[in-house]
Structure 1
Amino acid sequence: MKNFSKETEPPIERKSLVKAFAASLSGTSLEWYDFAVYGACAALVFGHLFFPDGDSLAGTLKAFGTYAVGYISRPLGGIFFGRLGDIVGRKKVLVWTLLLIGIATFIIGLLPTFASVGYLAPILLVLLRFAQGVGVGGEWGGAVLLSSEFSKPEQRGFWASAAQVGPPLGNLMANGVLAILAFFLTTAQFNDWGWRIAFLLSALLVVFGLWVRFSLEETPVFKKLEEKNERSNAPVSEVFKYESRALFGGILARIGPDVLYACFTVFVLAYATQYLGMPRSDAIASVTIASGIQVLFIPFSGWLSDRIERRVIYAVGAVLATIWTFVFFYMMEEPTFVRLFIGVTGALICHSLMYGPQAALIAEQFSARLRYTGSSLAYTFAGIVGGAIAPLLLAWFISFDKSGFAICLYIGIACVLTLIGLAMTRKSHES
């Protein structure tokens, strides 16, 4: 097997590192703002707006089905944009992915509903969701490399966590916008047109993200690959040929946190409102506040993984997540806002212990010349078996098991797969 793991680290300028952190954060925040808005609307309104059939559960399942499309299309983006990222550079590709995600999201805010154009409405929604997923498939791997390749190896956990802060920050912004809309609008107004505002506001994030990325230089690591003419001409095939263990280890490591996050940021909205009868405002507020706490906890977990071996921090999060899910459903036997908030917050802290070190851990598994492709493929393939089907399975499980025991087992199995993936990865700082 060829060994491309070692490379001399170019000198790093602090200003460039901070800009890279901002560029990484802005893109993934937009990505997850879009996904969080869609996930919330899928749980709350899309069922009857785009998939009406008189059955609220069936409508929600269909809406979550289009949520899954955004994950299923990710590998196409990972393959296409990941390959380009290892050939033409990280910066150029990340401009393209940001535009694709932002434009697709903005257009969703303009879509006619089923009542206006019939079946054309869900078809257009699925196509735009597919486009979102393609863009996201190429976004994460590059965003991770922007910050990690500008940082020193011994600080990679903290700086690479910029890409990981994007999900809770995007979720915080999305649910904050939805909470404001829910406060000022009646339910009828929100269902009629208010939800569109959340999608249209994504244009502001796109403009900011493009401004940051256009002002950023290419990463020092990719510049060095160009200077030495060491770029790969076939990165996808080389990843499978030379670095397949790293790829499958990264895929498995991501499944647990993907399922956990889908449960406690997307599914929990439908669970609290439809099955527990709680107010929509309580459900959104719980996820919003918990996401705000997670914005701080993820970089802390990344920083901690620079001092304690990343796989240890990650494994502790997986074990605690399994235990906490049982605690959550036990608490929700008597549903209150305080219990819901504590339950969601505890779950997202467990998620942070896995998610904070994740970017650096996965990037470190691949050689520099294959790192964009390898990281993107690990991210996107895990999304199919993790985040894509999770809301569908969670909604199905709760339909026949109101106790939540089946969901607890599901998350436990996902976390066991994560532990197996961690065992396949190599120690931090080895590349």
Structure 2
Amino acid sequence: MSISSATPVIDEKVTKRVALGALVGTALEWYDFFLFTTASALVFNIQFFATKDPILAGIFSFGTLAVGFVARPVGGLIFGALGDKVGRKKILMITIVGIGVVTGLIGLLPTYAAIGVAAPVLLILLRIVQGLAVGGEWSGAMIIAVENAPVEKRGRYGAMPQLGSPIGTILSSGGFALLAFLLSKDSFDDWGWRIPFLLAIPLLLVSLWIRSRLSESPEFEALMEEGETEHAPIRGVLGSSWKQVLVGAATAMLGVGGFYLVTTFVVFYGTTVLKLDRNLLLAATLIAAVFEVFILIGGGRMAERFGASRVVITGGLLSAILAFPVFLAVQSKDPFLVIFGVTLGVCALSIPYAVSGAVLTGLFPTRTRYTGVAISSNLAGLLSGFVPMVATATLAASGNSWVPSAWLLIGISLLTAVAGLAIPSLSIKQQGLKA
């Protein structure tokens, strides 16, 4: 019996356990990555770059942030190909260790004042290693969750690993907000910011224990038993699935790039230009993350009922419509409106993000799925990594105007909406995605 006709037996108890393991891993992944993005806006520009120009320091800091996203596609190619050859679970154990260890080391890194230019160099090197590991983490976690799920419920289980994003935001922003509240500004800038990074080590140990209990994908096991695994998955994806790669990347773009624009850049813009209290902005991202949890859960259910493409299109258009209101709310400096604006923006862009994992897994066959999803998601990540830096550069060029950033959000939103139109014709129908 060929893999195309095989129907692996699904035990939903196993499905739930695998989904939890995937969620815990992605939560740690996003916790570590969001620590870096928040620290880029609040700390790294002060502690690791010697310049008195706050905008220039911000550009340097966000450039370091972007370096990690440049490394992600390389990691995606490496770990994606290995995941299609040796299995999803083995690679996920490697990537989670890489992410957690690097994050802990960042918490121990000396500053520019202590060791000079070596400080930003080491920060960049650690960021590269972190980016390599992240390049294979999200795609593997998403795939193993979806491949272990019943076809008719892949929308909801595909949304489960996505919950790692708001959970990671809550843990990272919440940790920074608590420390900023408890400590003086000097204490926070001097040593307090290190604590959330160091906490990544015990979180890693918990994640490893949970992830060790994961079950390998039944679809991949069937491939292994029949000797039909792909020997050259990168060539296979780039040669026959390049359209799927582009559509997948565009689908994921809003949930990643738009998110960094509405959170990371807004935190920097609010503290540097508007002189807003950083606790207010951290609270805004924290509250937005809480609401995002419910959006992601609802988005997964909507995909099962109405189709993933409709969810992507709706979220993209809504995010474009709300771009100017979101930035106007932040610009008002009113605490309620600032929190409302950030929350509104995050909720809108989270609609397509909820289904992006299920969409990407449905674009590629099992033989090359890990590689295809990794390339697509990391291409989106690569472009997204430069969004805060581009927004900061346009901020400087426009005399501190927020308008170019709003147009940037509109452009990203429409790109995702257009990708939604192409999903039905490119998806593999047996992946449970309605046209």
Scaled to the shorter chain, the TM-score interval is over 0.9
Contact 2:263 2:285 in 1 (8 A): yes
Matched position secondary structure for 1:257: helix
SS at structure 1 position matched to 2:306: coil
How does 1:88-167 map onto structure 2 within 5 Å?
Answer: 88-167=86-165
Q: Give the secondary-structure state (helix, strand or coil) at the position aligned to 1:11.
A: coil
Cα RMSD over matched residues? Answer: 1.4
Q: Which residue of 1 is the match for residue 429 of structure 2? A: 430
Provide TM-score, normalisation by structure 1: 0.96
Cα separation, 1, equivalents of 2:105 and 2:417: 40
Shift of 1:333: 3.8
- Gaps of at least 5 residues in structure 1 are none
* Partner SS state of residue 277, structure 1: coil
1:78 positional shift? 0.4
Alignment map for 1:162-201 (pairs within 5 Å): 162-201=160-199
Question: Percent of aligned pairs with the same residue?
Answer: 34
CA contact (8 A) 1:6 1:367 kept: no
Tell me the distance in 2 between the aligned counterparts of 1:123 and 1:332: 34
Does the residue aligned with 1:307 lie in a helix, a strand or coil? helix
Provide the residue aligned with 1:27 in structure 2: 25
CA drift at 1:140: 1.0
Give the counterpart letter for 1:280 in structure 2: R
- Distance of 1:107 and 1:423 partners within structure 2: 43
Q: Deviations over 1:360-382 (max 9, x none)?
A: 01100000111100000000111
Amino acid in the other structure paired with 1:375: V
Does structure 2 retain, via aligned residues, the 8 Å contact 1:68–1:388?
yes
**How do 1:185-264 residues align onto structure 2 when only pairs under 5 Å count?**
185-264=183-262
Query: Is the CA contact (8 Å cut-off) linking 2:28 and 2:100 kept in structure 1?
Result: yes
Question: Which residue of the partner structure matches residue 392 of structure 2?
Answer: 395
2:193 is paired with a residue whose SS is helix
Give the Cα separation in 1 of the matches to 2:181 and 2:88. Answer: 41
CA contact (8 A) 1:5 1:367 kept: no
Q: 2: distance between equivalents of 1:280 and 1:321?
A: 25
Give the match for residue 39 of structure 1: 37
Alpha-carbon displacement from aligned partner over 1:252-286 (angstroms, at most 9, x marks no partner): 22223322101122111111111111111101001
Quote the Cα distance in structure 1 between the aligned partners of 2:239 and 2:332: 53
Q: Are the aligned partners of 1:45 and 1:191 in contact in 2 as well (CA < 8 Å)? A: yes
1:7 is displaced (CA, Å) by 4.9
3-state DSSP of counterpart to 2:424: coil
Q: Which amino acid aligns with 1:75?
A: P
Q: How does 1:279-358 map to 2 (within 5 A)?
A: 279-358=277-356
Counterpart of 2:433? none
Deviation at 1:200, TM superposition (A): 0.4
Amino acid at match of 1:108: I
In 2, Cα distance between equivalents of 1:159 and 1:112 = 41
State the Cα deviation string for residues 107-129 of structure 1 (Å, max 9, x = none): 00000001111111101000000
Equivalence for 1:368: 366
More displaced 10-residue stretch of structure 1: 327-336 or 174-183: 327-336
Matched residue, 2:272: 274
Distance 1:48 1:330 in 2: 28
Question: Is 1:86–1:235's contact at 8 Å kept on the other side of the alignment?
Answer: yes
Give per-residue Cα distances to partners, 1:202-250, cap 9 Å, x unaligned: 1122111111111122111111111111100000000111212111111
Deviation per CA, 1:165-184, whole angstroms, max 9, x where unpaired?
Answer: 11111011001111111111
The answer on whether the counterparts of 2:323 and 2:407 sit within 8 Å (CA) in structure 1 is no
TM-score computed with the length of structure 2 as normaliser: 0.95
**Given that residues 19 and 212 in structure 1 are in contact (C-alpha distance below 8 angstroms), is that contact kept between their aligned partners in structure 2?**
no
Equivalent-residue separation in structure 2 for 1:26 and 1:163 (angstroms): 8
Q: Using the TM superposition, give the Cα deviation of residue 399 of structure 1 relative to its aligned residue in structure 2, in angstroms.
A: 2.2
Report the count of equivalent residues.
427
What's the counterpart of residue 410 of structure 1? 408
Question: Alpha-carbon deviations, 1:140-189, whole Å to 9, x = none?
Answer: 11000111011112211110112211111101100111111111111000
5+ unaligned residues in a row in structure 2: which ranges? Answer: 431-435
Instruction: Tell whether 2:70 aligns with 1:72.
Output: yes
Distance (whole Å) between structure 1 residues aligned to residue 307 and residue 174 of structure 2? 35
Provide the residue aligned with 2:79 in structure 1.
Answer: 81
The residue that corresponds to 2:50 in the other structure is 52
The residue type equivalent to 1:116 in the other structure is A
Q: 1:5 to 1:140 in 2, by over 3 A?
A: farther
Query: C-alpha separation between the residues in 2 aligned to 1:103 and 1:184?
Result: 27
